[in-house]
């Protein structure tokens, strides 16, 4: 059951990054693709009906984590207290920037909301990437399963690192570029005219940066944590995952050259799924490695709740996830197609 819940939590986190990821990416590139107030309004309309619903997957993943692996939840929320509060504030500020922009018909107010939307989106992409970097690198867990990390120390990887060091900054930049490209692909698919053309140009340039950062992050990960290769050595079928990463990167270039915006967006979706799936595959059965003593690491075995609770929880999870998937299918089918300023409803 612990393996099942490991996979389920990983799937919900992947769903969050894929869905809320293009929202964040749209926020990052908004000043680059939207030159006028009307174009900025169009950019917001492209995500208007779905952005807050996409965040449900983050809440669902956090709830499942609390239920299935309570020790990991307690350890992470105590050790990462400061960055988690920063992420919480950034999530709220992003909502403020989106929801309150149209409440006051004033150019200065709208510019301020656009700035808040962009800055919070940019910082969230970096923080989410840095969080993944911390999990892969390891944290200074003690024998009781708890730890404390300063926001930064000397920016070096070691037994007592900070939340930000050269490796987690690298993963943060990779996440920022990934979600920026993902958002540009989404915007190219949902808009027309000048905004679409600018988004397409961004994806062309961003895909090269994404390819370079993918290689650099892989080399850096092998350098600081060579154990990530263990599962690939034990289970040969796992090599399908890095192959998918390469295929999705190539397909982004191919379909962009063909002008197929939907296929390019699906390619960046596949890239995110493959990258996060590869990270989960490489980490299993570790949930949070210890940078101090490997014996202190949290795994799916020493951090799990009771077997009976996991079995009962799985039943309720299936009911809840069925309702959630049904809602999202309806929402995205209703919102399919291009957006325009002629729509009477929207931001």
Q: Is residue 345 assigned to a domain?
A: no
* DSSP conformation letters of 226-256: GGGGHHHHH-GGGGHHHHHHHHHHHHHHHHH
Is the per-residue pLDDT at 118 higher than 80?
A: yes
* pLDDT the model gives residue 259: 92
Domain assignment present for residue 66? The answer is yes
Helix (H) or strand (E) holding 100: none
336 φψ region: left (φ > 0), alpha (ψ -120 to 50), beta (else): beta
**In this structure, what DSSP letter does residue 294 have?**
G
Number of helices followed by number of strands (H, E) in the chain: 13, 2
341: in domain: no
Is 346 contained in some domain?
no
CA 268 from chain centre, in angstroms, equals 12
CA end-to-end span of the chain: 44
Helical (H) or strand (E) element with 333:
helix 307-334
Give dist(CA 286, CA 226) in Å, integer: 14
pLDDT of residue 343: 62
Host domain of residue 301? 2-334
Using one digit for the tens of pLDDT, what is the confidence trace for 317-343?
A: 899 999 989 999 998 998 888 988 766
Percentage of the chain lying above the pLDDT 90 cut: 74
Q: How confident is the model at residue 161 (pLDDT cuts 50, 70, 90)?
A: confident
Mean pLDDT estimate for the chain: 92
Give the tens place of pLDDT for each residue, 28-46: 999 999 999 899 999 999 9
Domain count, the chain: 1
How deeply is 32 buried, as exposed, middle or buried, from its count of CB atoms within 10 A (0-12, 13-18, 19+)? middle
pLDDT category of residue 347 using cuts at 50, 70 and 90: low
Q: What does the buried/exposed string (b/e) look like for 76-90 if buried means 16 or more CB atoms within 10 Å of the residue's CB?
A: beebbeebeebbeeb
Task: Note whether residue 24 is domain-resident.
Answer: yes
Q: Which residue has the higher pLDDT, 235 or 1?
A: 235
Q: What is the DSSP string of 154-202?
A: SS--SSS--SB-HHHHHHHHHHHHHHHHHHHHHHHHH--HHHHHHHHHH
pLDDT at 164: 92
Q: What is the token pair recorded at 300?
A: 């799916």
Is the pLDDT at 125 greater than 90, yes or no? Answer: yes
pLDDT tens for each residue of 173-219: 999 999 999 999 999 999 999 999 999 999 999 999 999 999 999 99
pLDDT band at 281 (very low <50, low <70, confident <90, very high): very high
Q: What local confidence, expressed as pLDDT, does residue 301 receive?
A: 93
The model's pLDDT over 63-115, given as tens digits with 9 standing for 90+, comes to 898 889 999 988 988 888 888 899 999 999 999 999 998 888 898 999 999 99
Q: Could you tell me if residue 194 is inside a domain?
A: yes
Q: Could you give the percent of the chain with pLDDT greater than 70?
A: 98
Q: Is residue 23 part of a domain?
A: yes
Residue 16 falls inside a structural domain: yes
- Per-residue pLDDT averaged across 229-243, rounded? 95
Long-range pairs of 328-334 with CB within 8 A, sequence gap ≥ 24: 328/53, 331/49, 331/50, 331/53, 332/50, 334/49
Q: Which of 6, 170, 172, 151 is nearest to 79 (CA)?
A: 151
pTM exceeds 0.85 for this model: yes
Strand 298-299 and strand 286-288: the pairing is antiparallel
**95 burial level (CB within 10 Å; 0-12, 13-18, 19+):** middle
How many whole angstroms separate alpha carbon 272 and alpha carbon 19?
Answer: 10
Helix, strand or coil, per DSSP, at residue 225: coil
């Amino acid at each position: 059951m612990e393996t099942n819940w490991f996979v389920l939590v990983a799937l919900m986190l992947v769903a969050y990054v894929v869905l809320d990821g293009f929202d964040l990416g749209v926020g990052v590139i908004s000043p680059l693709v939207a030159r006028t107030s009307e174009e900025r309004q169009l950019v917001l309309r492209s995500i208007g009906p779905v952005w807050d619903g996409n965040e449900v997957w983050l809440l669902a993943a956090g709830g499942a984590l609390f239920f299935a692996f309570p020790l990991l939840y307690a350890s992470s929320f105590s050790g990462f207290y400061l960055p988690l509060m920063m992420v919480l504030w950034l999530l709220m500020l992003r909502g403020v920037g989106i929801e309150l922009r149209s409440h006051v018909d004033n150019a200065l107010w709208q510019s301020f909301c656009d700035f808040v939307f962009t800055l919070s989106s940019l910082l969230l992409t970096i923080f989410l990437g840095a969080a993944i970097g911390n999990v892969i690198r390891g944290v200074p867990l003690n024998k009781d399963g708890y730890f404390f990390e300063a926001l930064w120390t000397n920016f070096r990887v070691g037994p007592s690192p900070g939340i930000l060091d050269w490796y987690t900054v690298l993963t943060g930049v990779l996440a920022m570029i990934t979600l920026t490209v993902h958002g540009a692909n989404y915007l190219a698919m949902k808009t027309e005219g000048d905004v679409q053309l600018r988004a397409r140009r961004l994806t062309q340039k961003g895909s090269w940066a994404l390819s370079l950062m993918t290689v650099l992050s892989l080399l850096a990960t092998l350098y600081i944590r060579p154990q990530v290769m263990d599962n690939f050595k034990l289970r040969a079928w796992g090599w399908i995952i890095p192959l998918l990463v390469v295929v999705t990167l190539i397909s982004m270039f191919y379909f962009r050259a063909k002008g197929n915006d939907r296929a390019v967006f699906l390619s960046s979706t596949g890239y995110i799924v493959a990258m996060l799936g590869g990270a989960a595959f490489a980490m299993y059965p570790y949930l949070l490695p210890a940078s101090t003593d490997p014996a202190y690491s949290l795994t799916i075995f020493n951090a799990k709740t009771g077997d009976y609770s996991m079995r009962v929880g799985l039943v309720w999870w299936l009911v809840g996830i069925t309702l959630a998937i049904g809602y999202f299918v309806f929402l995205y089918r209703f919102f399919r197609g291009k957006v325009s300023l002629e729509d009477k409803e929207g931001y």
